[in-house]
Each structure stands twice: as structure tokens, then as C-alpha cells.
Amino acid sequence: MYKTTELQQIIDSEFQKLYFPKNPAELYQPIEYILSIGGKRIRPLFTVLAANLFSEDVQNAINPAIGLEIFHNFTLLHDDIMDKADIRRNKPTVHKKWNENVAILSGDAMMIYSYEFFMNLPTEIQISIFKTFNKTAIEVCEGQQFDMNFENKMEVSEQEYIKMIELKTSVLIAACFKIGAICGGANEKDAENMYEFGKNLGLAFQLRDDYLDCFGNTAEFGKQIGGDIVANKKTYLLIKALNISDSQTKAKIIAEINKKDFDRTEKVNTILEIYQQLNIPQITEKKIEEYYNLAFSYFDKISVPTERKTPIIEFVNLLKNRKS
């Protein structure tokens, strides 16, 4: 089996080999830019880790891994326009560095390019992988629409929020694990268990992001704490607080959300204090743990020797305890 670091090196090497045409520059330079400014590249790593779980040969999974990461970055280009985000990975977003039209068209091109990396797969697995990818692609769009709908909706249930992040974030991670497993020769049952494993991991990861935005360490988190609070984003923490607070506390939260002119520090501290009073940090951490446990209940069902599971378990545990 490969070490996780070896698989990461393979992925990084393949990304360095990527070539895009030079003209028109306004179409292709933004693609090269977004793919070059960092990012953890955990999705392609999940894909090849899943393949290696079932096979010593991960070659079939390399191109799909790249295609999935290009697709992920395409979604970021369009999300940043819709979210009016100026910064991505500590760099200007594509629509700020160029303009919105460029970002839209470059994103469209990335979506098309992502399919190219699924074209040369063995015939016996290609249809199954395309079905998984196509289903995932439309679900990610559905998740983004739900997220935008929530911007104008004060009352969002916990169930609605979980469904939104499942579609917007988790299903792509699930697809990476399933597609990698198929590339590695997994049977249908194991591939489906890998999908459920990835889906629940994705939910845990997103809730962890929500938690860190409020209760992370600024130095380790890499950005100011409370960005979601300032932006009035419907996160798990906010939704839970609104759902379990008494009428007086709920009114206080809503008043903070509705303020047009406010001091950033004061607003963040007010909401964080309410979260602490309601035990929101502990509730969130418990929910995160529930999704990790559910994820591993599916992973335990995978019919491979236990020792082959170690690289994935170790890497997931590393992500579980991340500070940023």
C-alpha cells in the first residue's frame, strides 16, 4: 500500500503537469490561477486513498481524482460570485482579480474540463462513475440554491440546514470515496458503504468549520473569528441557538442579526456569549462526534483486511482534530 504522503505527492505531481491553452488568456489564466493558489486537495486524496483501500494499483483513480478537484474549484468560482466574496485562500477571488463575466465563463470551462478526466476509464466502470458524478454535480447545485434561499429566510430548521450542507458539501466528498472505491475494484455494496462513509464525514467536516469560525484560535484558524456571525450566515450554531433559546434570548439574537450599523467586535462577542450560555459549543461538538461515529459505522462494514483501513483512519483522525 502507498503511504498517504506518497499519494499526496502523486496528486501534486499530476496537477503540476496540467496544461491549459494560452488563448484566450482571459479564459484559461483564471483556471490556472484558482488551481495554483493552494487548497488542501483533500478530495483527490480521498479518491486515491479509497482506490488504494481495495487495490495496490491506484492508476485508474488518478484522472478521476483530478477531475473531481477541478469540479470542486469550478464550484468555488461561481460560489464566490454569488457570495460576493473578495478573498479565497488569502488571495483575491477570480471575479475580483478579473471580473464576474470572466469568472462565470472560466468556471463553465472548468466544469467541461472536469468531464475530460473521466473519459479514458475502463468501460466496465465508466458508466457507474459517470452516474455518480452527474448525480453529485446536480446535487451540489441544489445545495447552493438552498444556501442562497436561507439568506432571506429567518427560520431555518436543523433538518433543512443539514440537508443543505449534505448537498452543497458532503455529497462531493461521498462521491470521491465511492468513485475511488469503484476505480479500485470495490463491489457495489462496498462502494455504497464508502459513499455513506464520505457523506457523514462531510457533514462532520462542515459542522467543524461552523464551530471553528466561532470558537477556533485566530492564529491557528488563519482568519478572524466570527466571520459567519458578522455575515449573519445560517450556520448550525445559529440555527441551534434560535431553536433552543427562550423568547427573550431569541429576540436578542434576532436584534443582532437585524442591525445595519454595528461594531464588529461587539456583535461577535454578544453572539458568542449567548452561544456559551446555551451550551452551543458542547452541543455542536456532540453533533460532530455523532457524524464521525455514523461515518465509521459504514467504514467498519467494508470487506477488506483491517490493516488496509489504517491510512484512511489515520488521515481522517488528523482532519477530525484540525484547528483550521
The average confidence (pLDDT) of the chain is: 95
Q: What is the mean pLDDT of residues 257-261?
A: 94
What pTM, to 2 d.p., does this model score? 0.95
Q: What is the mean pLDDT of residues 135-159?
A: 95
Which of 195, 163, 171, 150 has the alpha carbon at shortest distance from 298? 195
Q: What is the mean pLDDT of residues 181-196?
A: 98
pLDDT of residue 89: 87
SS3 92: strand
pLDDT band at 284 (very low <50, low <70, confident <90, very high): very high
**Distance, CA of 190 to CA of 186 (rounded, Å):** 6
Q: Which three cell numbers stand for residue 277?
A: 450560555
Residue 89's Cβ-side half-sphere holds a number of Cα atoms within 13 Å equal to: 14
pLDDT of residue 226: 93
Cβ-in-10-Å burial (0-12, 13-18, 19+) of 37 comes to: middle
Q: What is the mean pLDDT of residues 106-134?
A: 96
**Distance, CA of 54 to CA of 126 (rounded, Å):** 17
C-alpha 23: how far from chain center: 31
Single-letter residue type at 16: Q
Q: Which three cell numbers stand for residue 26?
A: 482571459
Which of 123-137, 213-227, 293-307 bottoms out in mean pLDDT, i.e. has the lowest?
213-227
Q: How many residues does the chain have?
A: 324
**Phi/psi at 88 (5° precision):** -140, 120
- Could you tell me the CA-to-CA distances from 252 to 154, 259, 280 in Å, in that order? 14, 11, 16
pLDDT of residue 323: 76
pLDDT of residue 183: 98
pLDDT band at 175 (very low <50, low <70, confident <90, very high): very high
pLDDT of residue 223: 66
Count helices and strands in the chain by DSSP H and E runs: 17, 2
pLDDT of residue 251: 97
**Phi/psi at 6 (5° precision):** -70, -40
**Distance, CA of 248 to CA of 138 (rounded, Å):** 41
pLDDT band at 17 (very low <50, low <70, confident <90, very high): very high
pLDDT of residue 215: 94
In the chain, pLDDT over 90 holds for what percent of residues? 89
Say which DSSP state 276 is in: H
Q: Which fold has domain 4-218+295-320?
A: Farnesyl Diphosphate Synthase (1.10.600)
The answer to whether the CB of 21 falls within 8 A of the CB of 32 is no
Which of 7-16, 37-46, 50-59, 220-229 bottoms out in mean pLDDT, i.e. has the lowest?
220-229
Instruction: Dump pLDDT digits (tens) for 212-245.
Output: 999 988 766 666 789 999 999 999 999 999 999 9
Helices (H), 58-187: 59-82, 94-97, 100-116, 123-151, 158-165, 171-183
Sign of CA dihedral 233, 238, 242, 246: negative
